[in-house]
Each structure stands twice: as structure tokens, then as C-alpha cells.
């Protein structure tokens, strides 16, 4: 087969956007995806049915290494299908807070300032339809009232705005029930693509091939594919560093330990693993809560542990159901009628690692988040539970409540709350940071501000892996933006 102009590995949130942006500019592109197609597959297209995919062949369902300070039984869902994890997520949509882009620029992300990124969001939102919850709900009205008594006013969380502390209705990338995943919004219909875009589904990349320091192709379970121009790794925060290390790019000692010849030593590959860890507080209600939009999640709140902070440091999703996945196994009571708050650490500081188990590409990587190793994360989680309690104690929300199910009112001191919150901790499913972007003389940076892998020609990373630090909101739209920015930089149309 004639070499492509570009090969993109992974048709997820970033990969679909990068591939189609390049193809629309006349480049001849191959998009290689380990999973199958989502076209006509309603468990992926209907945004209320994502749970049908969890634990199936469409979910990588990663286990994690034992967590001395947190919950070792957390499972990390990741989509293995066109659209990647954007085909299996809960479609909450935000733009990247300016605050976080400014932190990235401070770390060397030249060209990523809020003003430079803003036009990319205009382009994303011209293609990805966003709407808010359409169902009026008395529970939500009472939540807004109670939050306001607790000092959190009603905020419009539209992705046009910057996030501030307050409570508000979530916005979703959907049209009615239909998900606006990266594949739906950018790839569909697949039949529209001719020679400019070849979508290779059910094709798993094993390693990148090099000629000297230049990436020239990719070896897959369906054969080898070559490209004249840049290859883009968009396989996600677990698989992108895994593929780099399987190809000999990563920390030399670790690569030697698993019997891989070093192509290029890069200490940061698989380091800096970030996430949004969360926990749960749940209440039983006297009566059923009327249905809200899809996924029993229509609202969220943001709080500050110190009013002088420039941005909120606590985020909590509000569920109109009892979310008991990690509390039930510990014997906490549950109920048919109830609600839950899941406070998370908006800018978690604990960092973990992704490492190879062996030099066999079929083996799962070793994923160790080292959750709550940074005391800051424990503090924020504890404060999140306390803030949730303060809101629930206010009228009229209080009048809905029959009892606190978990942790239970006997859990009161900060130490008790922290121990409980970490024991039943979950994840908002936002792994990131494992191929971080940074300045050339930062030896832990994997890619430069143009997303080029340091010391290698023709190879870029564009997905959640490149986050230098965690951002304070759910990241899917940010990751789509990264795919678009990468394509623009290759095309030279980056402003």
C-alpha cells in the first residue's frame, strides 16, 4: 500500500478530530482504531445507554494497582469503538477554563493561551451540538434554593462561559437522546470519505516503526502501514504511553527491565498520571425524585475552600439516584429513592504512572494512580463532603431527606470523613498527563508545545496524555480541541 500522508492511531475524542481536520485539508490520512464502528449501534449512539457498554468488548475496563491511600477496586472504563471514550461517556460539556490554559502556558505550552485557543472552541461548537437539560424538576429547584442559602448562587454553566463557584444545570454534547461523540460529530457518515480518509477499524497498533530518529509507520495486527508525514498517537492516556514504550521510547531503565531496546530515552513517558478522583455522599428521600435528563445527572456545583482562590477547587456532580457502586461493597445502606453528591478534586495533585508489564503488546499496562499521595487531594475531598452536607442541611432540600445513607451522620471529624471518602473513592474517569507537554529543557516533558515527541521526527501525541496539569472541569471537549490544534499545527494554519 502506498504510504499515507498521515497516520492517526486511535479514533477517540482527539483522533477523530485530528484525522478529519487533516483529511478535509486534502491530506491522505489513515485512522487506525482497535475497536469497531459505532454507526447504527444504538448502545453507543443513545447517550442514555452507555452502561450497556461497560464491561463488554467495547470497554477496555482497566484495573489499577493497589492504592495504599485510596480505593484499589476502581475500574477505569475506556471506549474501544469509533469515538473512543466519547462514545461511552456521560456527555458533560465544558470549555477549558482560561485559568488552566494559563497554567499550561507557564509550563511551556507556547501558543495555548486562552485567546489563541478560543477560536478552536468556536470551530468545535459549530460542529458539536451542545444543549442543556430540558426537564423541569422540583428537586433541582429546591437544590438551587438550598445551595444559595449555603452561599452558592445559580450560575449558567454554558461552555460559552468561564466556570465560577456556584450551582447550575449541566450542558451536554447531545441532540435529544443522541450523543454527539467525536465520531458522530466529525466522522459520520463514514461513507462521505473517499481516498482522503481511510478508517481502519478492528486494527490494533502494536508499535511505531522508525528509520533512525524518524517515525515512518506502524505495525498492527492487520499488517504494517507507512506514512510520509507525521504520525499522531491518539490512543488515550493509558495506551499512548504504552505504545511509545513498546516502541522503545520511554525511561531507559524500565524499558531494559522489560527487554525492550531503547530507541529514545524520554523519562516522562508514563509519568505524571493525573485524574479527577471523587467520592460519594448519599441520602435516602421520603419520596421518589422525578426523572431528570439522561443518566440521572442534570446539575453540578463548584465551591472554593478559600474565598480568595481565583477558581473553584471543589467540583461535585449531583445525582438524582443513589450512586452506591463503591459504598455497597463496604456494607453502607442503599435506597430506591434518594440522591447523591460526588465531590471531586478539581485539580488533583497526586501523580501516578503507567508502566509496561512486559514487552508483549497484548499485555495490559500497570496503572498506578497513587491516589491521595498528595495531602492536598485528601483535604479537598474531605472539604467536598463537608460542603455537600452543608447544602443538604439547608431548606428546602433538607425537607426531601429521610436519612444520610453514607457515610452516615456518625462520621464527623475531618479524619473520619477523609478515611471514609478515600475508602469508597471513585473516579470521574479522566486519566491524563502521561505524555505531558512542556518546554524542551524540561526532561520530564514528552512533547513540545507543537505536540512533537522530543527528539523524534514525524511523531506527535494528541489526546489526554499531553495535559501538563489537570484542568478543573470534565475534559472531553478540551481533548477534541487538542486534536484540532494538532492538525492545525501540522497544516501550518495555527494562528
Ligand X SMILES: Cc1cc2nc3c(=O)[nH]c(=O)nc-3n(C[C@H](O)[C@H](O)[C@H](O)COP(=O)(O)OP(=O)(O)OC[C@H]3O[C@@H](n4cnc5c(N)ncnc54)[C@H](O)[C@@H]3O)c2cc1C
* Residues near ligand X (CB under 6 A): 9-15, 32-35, 77-80, 84-86, 88-92, 204-205, 234-237, 239, 243, 429-430, 463-464, 474-476, 479
- Taking the least distance from each CB to ligand X, the nearer of 80 and 422 is 80
Q: How far is the CB of 184 from ligand X (least distance, A)?
A: 13
- Taking the least distance from each CB to ligand X, the nearer of 146 and 456 is 456
- Taking the least distance from each CB to ligand X, the nearer of 355 and 378 is 355
Q: How far is the CB of 464 from ligand X (least distance, A)?
A: 4
Q: How far is the CB of 83 from ligand X (least distance, A)?
A: 7
Q: How far is the CB of 220 from ligand X (least distance, A)?
A: 7
- Taking the least distance from each CB to ligand X, the nearer of 30 and 235 is 235
- Taking the least distance from each CB to ligand X, the nearer of 85 and 180 is 85
- Taking the least distance from each CB to ligand X, the nearer of 190 and 411 is 190
357, 366 contact by CB (below 8 A): yes
Q: How far is the CB of 235 from ligand X (least distance, A)?
A: 4
CA distances from 185 to 15, 168, 308, 433 (A): 12, 26, 39, 25
Q: How far is the CB of 328 from ligand X (least distance, A)?
A: 18
Active site residue 6: no
Q: Closest residue (Cβ) to ligand X?
A: 12
3-state secondary structure the chain: CCCECEEEECCCHHHHHHHHHHHHCCCCEEEECCCECCCCCHHHHECCCHHHCCCCCCECCEECCCCCCCCCCCEECCECECCHHHHCCCCECCCCCHHHHHHHHHCCCCCCCHHHHHHHHHHHHHHCCCEECCCCCHHHHHHHHHHHHCCCCECCCCCCCCCCCEEEECEECEECCEECCHHHHHHCCHHHCCCCEEEECCCCEEEEEEECCEEEEEEECCEEEEECCCEEECCHHHHHHHHHHHCCEECHHHHHHCCCCCCEECCCCCCCEECCEECCEEEEECCCCCCCCHHHEEEEEEECCCCCCCCCCEEEEEECCCCCCCCHHHCCCCCCCEEEEEEEECCCCCCEEEECCCCCCCCCCEEECCCCCCHHHHHHHHHHHHHHHHHHCCCCHHHHEEEEEECCCCCCCHHHHHHHHHHCCEECCCCECCCCECCCCCCCCCECCCCEECCCECEEECCHHHCCCCCCCCCHHHHHHHHHHHHHHHHCCCC
Per annotation, catalytic residue among 58, 76, 276, 430: 430
- Taking the least distance from each CB to ligand X, the nearer of 241 and 303 is 241
- Taking the least distance from each CB to ligand X, the nearer of 85 and 285 is 85
156, 474 contact by CB (below 8 A): no
Q: How far is the CB of 172 from ligand X (least distance, A)?
A: 8
Q: How far is the CB of 473 from ligand X (least distance, A)?
A: 7
Q: Which of 221, 195, 193 is nearest to 207 (CA)?
A: 221
Catalytic sites, residue numbers = 430
Amino acid at each position: 500500500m502506498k504510504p499515507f500522508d498521515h497516520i492517526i492511531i486511535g479514533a477517540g475524542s482527539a483522533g477523530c478530530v485530528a484525522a478529519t481536520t487533516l483529511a478535509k485539508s486534502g491530506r491522505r490520512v489513515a485512522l487506525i482504531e482497535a475497536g469497531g464502528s459505532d454507526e447504527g449501534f444504538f448502545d453507543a449512539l443513545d447517550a442514555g445507554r452507555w452502561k450497556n457498554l461497560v464491561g463488554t468488548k467495547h470497554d477496555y475496563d482497566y484495573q489499577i494497582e493497589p492504592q495504599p491511600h485510596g480505593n484499589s477496586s476502581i475500574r477505569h472504563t475506556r471506549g474501544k469503538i469509533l469515538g473512543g471514550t466519547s462514545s461511552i461517556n456521560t456527555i458533560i460539556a465544558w470549555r477549558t477554563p482560561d485559568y488552566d490554559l494559563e497554567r499550561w502556558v507557564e509550563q511551556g505550552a507556547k501558543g495555548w493561551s486562552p485567546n489563541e485557543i478560543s477560536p478552536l472552541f468556536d470551530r468545535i461548537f459549530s460542529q458539536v451540538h451542545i444543549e442543556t437539560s430540558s426537564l423541569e424538576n422540583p428537586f433541582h429547584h429546591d437544590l438551587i434554593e438550598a445551595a444559595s442559602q449555603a452561599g452558592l448562587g445559580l450560575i449558567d454553566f454554558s461552555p460559552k462561559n468561564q466556570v465560577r463557584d456556584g450551582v447550575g444545570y449541566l450542558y451536554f454534547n447531545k441532540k435529544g437522546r443522541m450523543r454527539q461523540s467525536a465520531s458522530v460529530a466529525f466522522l459520520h457518515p463514514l461513507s462521505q470519505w473517499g481516498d482522503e480518509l481511510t478508517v481502519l477499524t478492528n486494527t490494533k497498533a502494536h508499535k511505531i516503526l522508525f528509520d533512525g530518529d524518524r517515525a515512518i509507520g506502524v505495525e498492527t495486527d492487520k499488517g504494517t502501514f507507512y506514512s510520509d508525514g507525521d504520525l499522531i498517537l491518539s490512543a488515550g492516556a493509558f495506551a499512548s504511553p504504552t505504545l511509545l514504550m513498546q516502541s522503545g521510547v520511554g525511561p531507559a531503565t524500565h524499558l531494559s527491565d522489560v527487554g525492550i531496546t531503547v530507541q529514545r530515552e524520554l523519562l516522562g513517558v508514563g509519568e505524571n498520571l493525573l485524574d479527577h478522583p471523587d467520592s460519594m455522599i448519599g441520602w435516602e428521600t421520603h419520596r421518589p425524585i422525578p426523572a431528570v435528563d439522561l443518566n440521572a445527572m442534570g446539575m453540578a456545583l463548584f465551591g472554593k475552600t478559600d474565598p480568595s482562590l481565583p477558581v473553584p477547587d471543589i467540583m461535585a456532580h449531583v445525582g438524582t439516584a443513589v450512586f452506591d457502586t463503591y459504598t455497597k461493597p463496604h456494607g453502607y445502606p442503599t435506597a430506591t429513592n434518594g440522591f447523591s453528591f460526588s465531590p471531586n478534586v478539581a485539580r488533583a495533585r497526586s501523580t501516578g504512572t503507567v508502566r509496561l508489564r512486559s514487552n508483549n503488546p497484548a499485555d495490559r499496562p500497570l496503572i498506578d494512580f497513587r491516589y491521595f499521595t498528595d495531602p492536598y487531594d485528601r483535604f479537598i475531598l474531605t472539604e467536598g463532603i463537608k460542603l455537600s452536607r452543608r447544602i443538604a442541611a439547608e431548606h428546602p432540600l433538607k425537607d426531601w431527606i429521610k436519612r444520610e445513607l453514607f457515610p452516615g451522620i456518625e462520621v464527623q471529624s475531618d479524619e473520619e470523613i477523609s478515611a471514609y471518602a478515600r475508602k469508597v473513592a471513585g473516579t470521574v474517569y479522566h486519566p491524563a498527563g502521561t505524555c505531558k507537554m512542556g518546554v524542551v529543557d524540561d526532561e520530564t516533558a514528552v512533547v513540545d508545545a507543537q505536540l512533537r515527541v522530543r527528539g523524534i521526527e514525524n511523531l506527535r501525541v494528541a489526546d489526554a496524555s499531553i495535559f501538563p496539569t489537570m484542568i478543573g472541569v470534565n475534559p472531553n471537549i478540551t481533548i477534541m480541541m487538542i486534536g484540532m490544534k494538532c492538525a492545525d499545527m501540522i497544516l501550518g494554519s495555527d494562528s
